């Protein structure tokens, strides 16, 4: 009975505050504090747990990756990547739309953020698509949907957060007896595992883009491919192409850790922006630092409170209760995956991705581990599913960004984005049901 009251207090106060419009960090913090007071524990514990949550070495990658992404946009690196993708569009039906998806993949490999990817690519590609005769709503919807690749293509901020959330995970004793002691999730392994799932979702968007463009009559350029144009784009963007190669190559080769790679990315961008492209001014650097400070502070506030919320869940065995309840419904792996994916799709419509990861990882990871699902596989599926929430209402951050860039109504963008959300969901089911897509590269590299 006490556990029932605790669950009502914890989730009731959280949902009540969310409905009243309170910020998610406030909702999480108040819910956790209410539960600690109900349990008659010292409230100072909340502060201690919150500060301990930011003491991990991997978390240092968070502000570094945010700063690297902001600097790359200011230095002109992201602009050249987008122009390079556009040069390959040529006469292919829907080619400029396909170039938008590719540009989001390129930028996702250096930003790690969905809205940042949508903003950086959308500023260039939405006007370019409209100039080629594309409907503004379609151009905006495609960019918003492809912007979700920013958190799937490594390096990814949500992957870092998932790795931190899995630390000290409590799993049922029966699961340990069946599958062995739970191992801490490696962020490097998460980065490697995200490559093929990112390509699967990208291919689903490219296929639907081709089908819809063919039906709508959005053709490519009449003059065909221009070798001169492509070579010019490659020459001007060669240093931009090297950016994701340096970051990912160093991680995959084991030359440096994900945290160290973020620092390498910052110095690489400073060198290219100041000495090669000469577009990175002191004002742009200061603006990038301001953006980093604001975004990192916002994320850390959620991290503080979500960590305490998760600690209350784990210490009171609530994840074990949820796991047992789900396993009592069915032990069919495919049905469990379907329930988890549909639940995450629903959560992603109303909650920020990082907060959802921090709250739900302690709840859902024990369930999947009890079924023998690799924690890395679950983490990738979770992030892929939540990425769809960037382009689904009512939260849909990418929809707001794309709508603002194209200056059209949110409803117009949303209606065009729903088919892309559907094919992305189908792709997520494929990734979940075929674990080799996620785990092939980690096994290949010996993780």
Among the listed residues 99, 54, 349, 87, the one whose alpha carbon sits nearest the alpha carbon of residue 206: 99
Residue 432 in this model has a pLDDT that exceeds 80: yes
Among the listed residues 420, 310, 317, 315, the one whose alpha carbon sits nearest the alpha carbon of residue 358: 310
For the stretch 259-293, pLDDT in tens is: 787 788 889 989 999 999 888 999 999 998 988 88
Side-chain half-sphere CA neighbours of 156 within 13 A: 33
Secondary element (H or E) of residue 386: helix 375-388
| Nearest-angstrom CA–CA distance, 159 and 258 | 11
| Nearest-angstrom CA–CA distance, 376 and 141 | 30
Q: Would you call 11 exposed, middle or buried from its count of C-beta atoms within 10 A (0-12, 13-18, 19+)?
A: middle
Q: Report yes or no: 24 and 351 within 8 Å, Cβ to Cβ.
A: yes
Q: Report yes or no: 168 and 355 within 8 Å, Cβ to Cβ.
A: no
Q: With pLDDT > 90 as the criterion, what percentage of the chain qualifies?
A: 23
**Region of poorest pLDDT, from 42-51, 70-79, 135-144, 146-155:** 42-51
Q: What is the mean pLDDT of residues 75-103?
A: 80
Q: At what angle do helices 157-165 and 61-75 cross, to 10 degrees?
A: 180
Buried b (16+ CB within 10 A) or exposed e, 405-414: bbebebebbb
How high is the pLDDT of residue 327?
A: 67
Q: With pLDDT > 70 as the criterion, what percentage of the chain qualifies?
A: 86
For the stretch 142-192, pLDDT in tens is: 999 999 998 898 878 889 889 888 865 555 555 554 555 556 688 888 989
Average pLDDT score, the chain = 82
How high is the pLDDT of residue 184?
A: 65
For 72, 148, 165, 384, 399, the CA distances from 389, given in Å and listed in that order, are 25, 8, 20, 9, 10
Domain boundaries, the chain: 56-300+317-444
| Nearest-angstrom CA–CA distance, 258 and 256 | 7
| Nearest-angstrom CA–CA distance, 66 and 113 | 8
How high is the pLDDT of residue 127?
A: 84
What does pTM read for this prediction?
Answer: 0.77
How high is the pLDDT of residue 224?
A: 62
For the stretch 337-354, pLDDT in tens is: 999 999 899 888 877 788
Q: Report yes or no: 80 and 237 within 8 Å, Cβ to Cβ.
A: yes
Q: What is the mean pLDDT of residues 318-328?
A: 68
Question: pLDDT grade, residue 418 (50/70/90)?
Answer: very high
| Nearest-angstrom CA–CA distance, 61 and 160 | 8
| Nearest-angstrom CA–CA distance, 359 and 348 | 12
Contacts of 78 (CB under 8 A, 6+ apart): 72, 107, 110, 111, 120, 121, 240
| Nearest-angstrom CA–CA distance, 50 and 359 | 14
């Amino acid at each position: 009975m006490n556990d029932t009251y605790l669950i009502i207090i914890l989730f009731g106060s959280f949902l009540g505050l969310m409905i009243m419009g309170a910020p998610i960090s406030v909702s999480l913090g108040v819910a956790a504090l209410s539960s600690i007071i109900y349990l008659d524990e010292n409230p100072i514990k909340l502060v201690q747990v919150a500060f301990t949550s930011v003491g991990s070495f991997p978390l240092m990658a968070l502000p570094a990756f945010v700063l690297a992404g902001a600097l790359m946009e200011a230095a002109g690196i992201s602009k050249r990547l987008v122009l390079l993708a556009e040069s390959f569009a040529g006469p292919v039906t829907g080619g400029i739309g396909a170039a938008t998806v590719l540009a989001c993949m390129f930028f996702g490999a250096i930003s790690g953020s969905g809205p940042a990817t949508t903003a950086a690519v959308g500023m260039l590609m939405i006007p370019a698509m409209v100039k080629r005769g594309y409907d503004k709503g379609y151009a905006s919807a495609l960019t918003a949907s492809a912007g979700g690749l920013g958190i799937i293509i490594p390096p990814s901020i949500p992957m870092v957060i998932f790795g931190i959330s899995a630390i000290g995970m409590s799993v049922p004793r029966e699961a340990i007896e069946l599958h062995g002691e739970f191992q801490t999730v490696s962020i490097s392994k998460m980065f490697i595992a995200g490559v093929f799932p990112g390509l699967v979702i990208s291919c689903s968007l490219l296929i639907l883009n081709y089908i819809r463009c063919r039906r709508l009559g959005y053709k490519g350029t009449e003059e065909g491919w221009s070798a001169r144009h492509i070579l010019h784009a490659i020459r001007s963007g060669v240093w931009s192409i090297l950016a994701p190669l340096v970051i990912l190559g160093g991680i995959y080769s084991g030359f440096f850790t994900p945290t160290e790679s973020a620092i390498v990315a910052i110095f690489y961008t400073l060198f290219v922006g100041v000495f090669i492209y000469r577009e990175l001014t002191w004002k742009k650097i200061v603006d990038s630092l301001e953006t980093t400070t604001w975004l990192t502070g916002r994320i850390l506030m959620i991290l503080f409170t979500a960590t305490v919320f998760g600690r209350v869940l784990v210490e009171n065995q609530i994840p074990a209760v949820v796991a047992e309840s789900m396993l009592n419904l069915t032990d069919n792996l495919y049905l469990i995956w379907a329930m988890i994916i549909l639940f995450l799709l629903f959560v992603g419509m109303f909650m920020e991705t990082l907060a959802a990861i921090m709250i739900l990882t302690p709840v859902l990871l024990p369930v999947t581990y009890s079924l023998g699902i690799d924690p890395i596989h679950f983490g990738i599926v979770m992030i892929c599913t939540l990425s769809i929430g960037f382009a689904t209402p009512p939260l849909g951050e990418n929809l707001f960004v794309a709508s603002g860039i194209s200056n059209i109504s949110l409803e117009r963008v949303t209606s065009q984005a729903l088919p892309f959300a559907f094919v992305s969901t189908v792709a997520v089911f494929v990734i979940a049901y075929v674990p080799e897509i996620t785990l092939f590269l980690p096994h290949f590299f010996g993780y």
